[in-house]
Amino acid sequence: MVNLPPLIQDLGLILIAAAAMLLLFKWLRQPVILGYLLAGFFVSNYFPPEWAHQYLPEALTKFLTIQDGENIKVWAEIGVIFMLFGLGLEFSFKKLLSVGRTASITGGFEVVSTTVLGFFVGKMFGWNNMDSIFFGAMLAMSSTTIILKVFDDLKMKAKAFAPIVFGALIVEDLLAMLLLVLLGSIAISQQFEGGALFLESTKLIFFLVLWVVMGIFLIPWFLKRCKRFMNEELLLLISVGLCFLMVIIACDVGFSSALGAFVMGSILAETSRGIQIERVVRPVRDLFSAVFFVSVGMMIDPAILYEYAGTIIIITILTVFIKFWGTGMGALLAGCNVRNSMQAGMSMAQIGEFSFIIATLGYTLGVISDFLYPIAVATSAITTLTTPYLILSSDKIARWLDKRIPERLELLLLRYEVTMNEQIGRESALSLFWRTHGLAIMLNSIIVVGIILGARLILSETHVTPEPMTNSVAVVAEDAMLPDTRESSENKITERRTAAAPTLLDTHDITPFSLSLLAITILVASPFLWGVFQGRPPRPDRYDTKTLRRLRRLQFGISTVRFLVGSMLVVFFVASFLDMPSAPGLLTAFGIVCFLSVGGRTIDRLYQRIETRFVDHLSEKERAIVEDRSALPHLVPWEATLTEYTLSEYSPLVMNTVRDSNLKQKQGVTVAIIRRGENTIVAPKADEYLLPRDRLYLIGTYEQLIAAQAVIEYQPETELAFDDDQFGMVPLRLHQEHTFVGKTIRDCGIRESVNGLIVGVERNEERFLNPDPNMVLGDGDLIWLVGEKQLLTKL
């Protein structure tokens, strides 16, 4: 008989098992990905169990079990490549740029917050710092391939929240590359090497831009040259060949194969044959993705599930909650509505295959415990099983939560969403936030970190002076030549930990000097911590009314960012001196918060004095120039000056002629120049009309100009409270018993009864802006009313 290679036998067994489970789950109308996972378990070495072997023939057991697991891993890697290649074809760079801000904020916030919360979860279980850090990083990585497959099976790619999820996943994958560099640096040197992270970030951006530019320039030209020979067979070969070429290039420069496949898919999606390429590649992608999901199911070990059952259940529940919170809050901060944010959070509530890469890194370097890898695999398998059901139920849960949000909070979030998405004719919300708050938060944070590092340096000098460390890159290169990488890495890491003694205060290290230093550090840093948490509200005299109104509507995001950054600084503060989250560390953190709360007024006055002094020093040169100019009025005849003012739309002078404005008769000033857009009117005539936003150049004395300014730049005192207290937009959810259900918008009589107007309707993920008056309202519709809020609340 001809010997059949194990690879062919294993591949045939996988495909037969996958097809059988696919038929079963299609018949049961369940997500097929669950069938693939169960197929993997049935062909793994864990099934049938050992006690059943005595009742089954050995030949049958051998035939039903995978023989060569390493080759299956290769096929699974090919499956990941095709899955990411397909994702790139369906979600091009143009689509990514269209949700660039949303994706960046959502994905970035989700990765950072989940990593931090995962670290504290590990500490709660009593794990050491390295186990907790790696666990937090593993928790941050969702499964792009699993989510893509579930969305494809459930026909949910066209849903409103799907682009948010896809964009966040792409940002997450890009950040994962940097996270690997950071974790490797921390694991080897026990320190944060910012230089290596900066170089890796620069390299990633450089190669991404290079690949995209070169690909968009060369590939369409190549496809046009081959147009007359092109058929589906040649198109498939060229597309797959280009995909693997980019995979090879990406791996050669130090990135993952998945990133290379996604980049090439995104480039091909921009060509004229993008849709055709997606169609011919889909069967190949489905074949290898089935192999991948079966290989994931092969890792489900019942013994590990039983041994760590309690821990795995708790971690799984925490994973779902943390991922839901991190992604949902990130989407809210990015300007998405509540329902889409909740659905996006539930879609990403799992950890994926990239977590295995992070766990393998820690295991190879010998810095994580042996139990962490199987726990990660089990948690990933369970959350993979729950993902389809979470996505299926996300709409119902989001609707249920949406109905129970307090009206005041719903209005606050709605205003924040509208303001974040405003782009027409004004600066973006992110630019406005950075100009008014971001720079101050960054400067105060840097000062706080500097104070902490200085105090920690003083404390370390009084305890122990660490020996010089060797180059971490040399250690890795040396380990690569040893037979047992994990064992040698453990020895190296132990040496690093011995050489670099920590500067944290243990219970027996607490002395009067260390306590005094900690108290002084808190006192010195408290004004700047207050500047991060609270800060000074924007001064009305520095911004116009529209800017102040936008800032007020952005208050939800501003307060959230301040609280998160401030909390991270407090944690860093405590962790620099004490162990977190131990009892002394938690008490110290609580004490800092109480100190800021109790001494708020005093600390605020101190911070304002510091900020005022800083601003004065910063503008000292400009003030000196102004003072020099003010010293020259006696050289100008009659001490008159030429000054510019902008005519307010609320000024009583609007639509009056220069003669009727009586500026010369009442205030004693002369209108010398009028600038109106691109036009300049020098020495305007007496019958020239004054229009809103005109820039008037007046000649007069200082006292005359001050009197004229009050009339020209007049602003009503009640204008700032206009939207909040009198008029606005209010949502109303219709139910079956509501009188509006079954009526057209015209027949509702809202304009006549409460002087309101229906400006929008949301129905089953669809939005109708300025709906037709003949539209019939139904049960479950969310309508948006504009008018006087006191009257609208009667509805």
Name 60's Cβ contacts closer than 8 Å, sequence gap at least 6: none
Name 781's Cβ contacts closer than 8 Å, sequence gap at least 6: 733, 734, 761, 762, 763
Q: Distance between CA 584 and CA 452 in Å, rounded?
A: 18
Q: Distance between CA 521 and CA 528 in Å, rounded?
A: 12
Q: Distance between CA 357 and CA 501 in Å, rounded?
A: 29
Mean pLDDT across the stretch 58-86?
77
Would you give the distance in Å from CA 547 to the centre of its chain? 25
- Phi first, then psi, for residue 680 (nearest 5°) are -125, 125
pLDDT band at residue 632 using 50, 70 and 90 as cut-offs: very low
Residue 242 has pLDDT above 90, yes or no: yes
* pLDDT (tens digit per residue) in 294-306: 887 787 778 777 8
148 and 162 Cβ atoms separated by less than 8 Å = no
| Residue recorded with tokens 């791996």 | 251
CA distances from 61 to 20, 43, 50, 342, 587 (A): 18, 10, 11, 46, 58
Helices (H), 599-648: 600-618, 620-630
Residue 506 has pLDDT above 60, yes or no: no
In order of their start, the domains of the chain are: 73-420 (1.20.1530.20), 432-480+498-618 (no CATH), 637-717 (3.30.70.1450), 726-792 (3.30.70.1450)
Lowest pLDDT segment from 35-49, 621-635, 676-690 = 621-635
Lowest pLDDT segment from 46-60, 183-197, 528-542 = 183-197
pLDDT band at residue 20 using 50, 70 and 90 as cut-offs: very high
Question: Number of H helices and number of E strands within the chain?
Answer: 34, 8
Residue 240 has pLDDT above 90, yes or no: yes
The percent of residues in the chain predicted with pLDDT above 90, rounded, is 3
Residues paired with 698 in a beta bridge:
643, 671
Residue 708 has pLDDT above 90, yes or no: no
- Phi first, then psi, for residue 108 (nearest 5°) are -65, -45
Mean pLDDT across the stretch 517-528?
87
Residue 488 has pLDDT above 60, yes or no: no
The percent of residues in the chain predicted with pLDDT above 70, rounded, is 78
pLDDT of res. 635: 36
As a whole number, the mean pLDDT across the chain is 77
517 and 458 Cβ atoms separated by less than 8 Å = yes
Take residue 718 and report the two structure tokens written for it: 């009640």
Interhelix angle for 439-463 vs 555-575, to 10°? 10
pLDDT of res. 466: 39
Take residue 769 and report the two structure tokens written for it: 């802006």
Q: CB count, 10 Å around CB of 208?
A: 16
pLDDT band at residue 623 using 50, 70 and 90 as cut-offs: low
Quick one: which H or E segment has residue 785?
strand 782-788
pLDDT of res. 23: 92
Name 583's Cβ contacts closer than 8 Å, sequence gap at least 6: none
* pLDDT (tens digit per residue) in 651-669: 888 888 888 888 888 888 8
pLDDT of res. 481: 36
* pLDDT (tens digit per residue) in 319-352: 889 988 888 898 888 888 888 888 888 888 888 7
pLDDT of res. 727: 67
* pLDDT (tens digit per residue) in 564-607: 888 888 888 887 777 666 677 778 888 888 888 888 788 888 88
pLDDT of res. 384: 77
Identify the residue with better confidence: 547 or 312.
Answer: 312
Q: DSSP strand E in 287-436: where?
A: none
Residue 421 has pLDDT above 70, yes or no: yes
pTM above 0.85, yes or no: no
Lowest pLDDT segment from 39-53, 301-315, 404-418, 610-624 = 610-624
Say how many CA atoms lie within 13 Å of 64 toward its Cβ.
Answer: 14
SS3 of 533-572: HCCCCCCCCCCCHHHHHHHHHCHHHHHHHHHHHHHHHHHH
Instruction: Of 233-247, 371-385, 739-753, give the range with the top mean pLDDT.
Output: 233-247
DSSP 663: I
pLDDT of res. 536: 64
574 and 120 Cβ atoms separated by less than 8 Å = no
352 and 168 Cβ atoms separated by less than 8 Å = no
532 and 565 Cβ atoms separated by less than 8 Å = yes
